Structure 1
Amino acid sequence: MDAAMEITQQEGLEALSMPRLARRLGCGVMTIYGHVDGRDQLLNLLCSRILGGLELERTAGTGGREALTRFALALRERMLRFPALAHLLAQRKLWSPEVAGLVEWLLAELTADGRTLEEAVAAYRLVLAHTLGSVLYEIPRTGAEQEAEYAAWWRHTLADLPATAYPLLHAAGERLGEAPATGQFRAGIEALLDGLGSPRHS
């Protein structure tokens, strides 16, 4: 699994194959099949390994809103550090003991606040979708080189637009060229949770 993580970090998720992993480990492909059934299981194990390092304090009595906020921030940090996780969660149906324990805790905190189970599931799915979508947008714009390229792209794009016809775009150009940041993400989560409102069954 360490070798699989190295491949995905260095070359991307698409590069992770059984032959590629065997070459990295210096063994035959059939040796790999002695440990995993195939690439699907390998990807599930990879997801579990990455999620296992999620830095999230799960204490009873945290409260649904705080639990969802902690979850969103921790998951975002983990996906930005390991972009393969974001792509795995977006593309595949993945389940593991780590995921089960995490979702159980979130639902417990949300229902303890007075939400119905249906409301708790809806809140969890909404925050998950927002977090995943935000990170997939952030990944190609995160890092010094990517941030500089993103800002340059905006400058070049706006240079082709006449300021008289697009005055607001030009006025907002510097802000539009800023890479996404934690503050922006947190503001989005707060707005989302505000929109969910207080539990109706407290």
Structure 2
Amino acid sequence: MTVEYPGKGDPARSLALLWRTSERASRKGKPELSVDRIARAAIEVADAEGLQALSMRRVAERLGVGTMSLYTYVPGKPELLDVMLDTVYGETARPEDVPGGWRSRLEQIARANWALYLRHPWLLQVATSRPVLGPNVTAKYEYELRAIDGIGLTDLEMDSVITLITGFVHGAARGAVEAAQAETRTGMTDEQWWAAHSPFFGRIADVDRYPTATRVGQAVGEELNAAYNPEHAFAFGLQRVLDGIEALVAGRAPGP
């Protein structure tokens, strides 16, 4: 999988686009264009065809305009990618009142990020080590930090906890997207795959040599109807990550 890196464009131009400090108006007689419209069209291309299909020409075709007209608003593809990222990060749900304390708030954040990756799988092709410094990314980070502000963690630990949660979601979402693509590309659901292969497991499994793998594998197949279930893996893993964070928080609580 090809990985794209945000921030490859001109920093000053990218920041001006992200914060809309220098957007130009459409010229008379031309279809109404804007940075927002161009970014949305680019997101639609990436959603439908993958990030590898994204180009200024392809976005222009989707908008029904000439390619050169886009450059009035966006300097190039690197800057466009930055705007796309900031735009979709603005989609995450951010309810102010989440009952159940910080653990419930972190779970809500994890599920909002999970849903975002499933809506826009191309996000998994973008490196996350260099964040886009746009308004939506900044607001998202602020919201996520506030979920654990005041529970006894240092500022560095707060950032590390959010990184842990979002990193876990990123990995789990990759597994979910790959599982969905397997169904699309093979024409066979997980249930169909399991039904077709399970009769042969009993013939090839050496119970004496692999007793634990045989027992556990059979239990997983019977319970999940598949060798792997992305939703189960996400839900189970998230609770264990939250358990670890809870142990960290509990260790900071004052003793009796």
SS of structure 2 residue aligned to 1:111: coil
Counterpart-to-counterpart distance in 2, 1:148 and 1:67: 37
Q: Which residue of 2 aligns with 1:194?
A: 243
CA separation of 1:179 and 1:74: change in aligned 2, threshold 3 A: same
- Contact 1:107 1:117 survives alignment (8 Å): no
1:36 is displaced (CA, Å) by 0.9
Rg bigger for which structure?
2
CA separation of 1:62 and 1:163: change in aligned 2, threshold 3 A: closer
CA separation of 1:62 and 1:95: change in aligned 2, threshold 3 A: farther
**CA deviations over 1:35-62 (Å, ceiling 9, x no partner):** 1121111111111221222122145998
1:123 is displaced (CA, Å) by 0.9
Number of residue pairs the alignment of both structures matches: 201
The one-letter amino acid paired with 2:215 is L
Q: Which residue of 2 aligns with 1:121?
A: 159
Structure 1 window deviating more from structure 2 (139-148 vs 67-76): it is 139-148
**CA deviations over 1:150-174 (Å, ceiling 9, x no partner):** 4455554983771225533652434
Superposed CA RMSD in Å reads: 3.1
Correspondence for 1:106 among 127, 144, 169: 144
Matches within 5 A, 1:28-43: 28-43=66-81
Structure 1 window deviating more from structure 2 (170-179 vs 47-56): it is 170-179
Q: Which residue of 2 aligns with 1:185?
A: 234
CA separation of 1:131 and 1:162: change in aligned 2, threshold 3 A: same
Give % identity. 28
CA separation of 1:201 and 1:4: change in aligned 2, threshold 3 A: same
Q: Which residue of 1 aligns with 2:14?
A: none
1:92 is displaced (CA, Å) by 6.1
- Contact 1:138 1:180 survives alignment (8 Å): yes
Q: Extract unaligned runs of 5+ from structure 1.
A: none
Correspondence for 1:162 among 204, 213, 220: 204
**CA deviations over 1:46-79 (Å, ceiling 9, x no partner):** 1122122212214599843232211100110121
The one-letter amino acid paired with 1:159 is F
1:193 is displaced (CA, Å) by 1.3
1:126 is displaced (CA, Å) by 0.8
- Contact 1:106 1:124 survives alignment (8 Å): yes
SS of structure 1 residue aligned to 2:204: coil
Correspondence for 2:62 among 24, 42, 54: 24
SS of structure 2 residue aligned to 1:192: helix
Structure 1 window deviating more from structure 2 (62-71 vs 124-133): it is 62-71
The one-letter amino acid paired with 1:19 is R
Structure 1 window deviating more from structure 2 (163-172 vs 116-125): it is 163-172
TM-score (norm 1): 0.82
Structure 1 window deviating more from structure 2 (102-111 vs 66-75): it is 102-111
Q: Extract unaligned runs of 5+ from structure 2.
A: 1-38
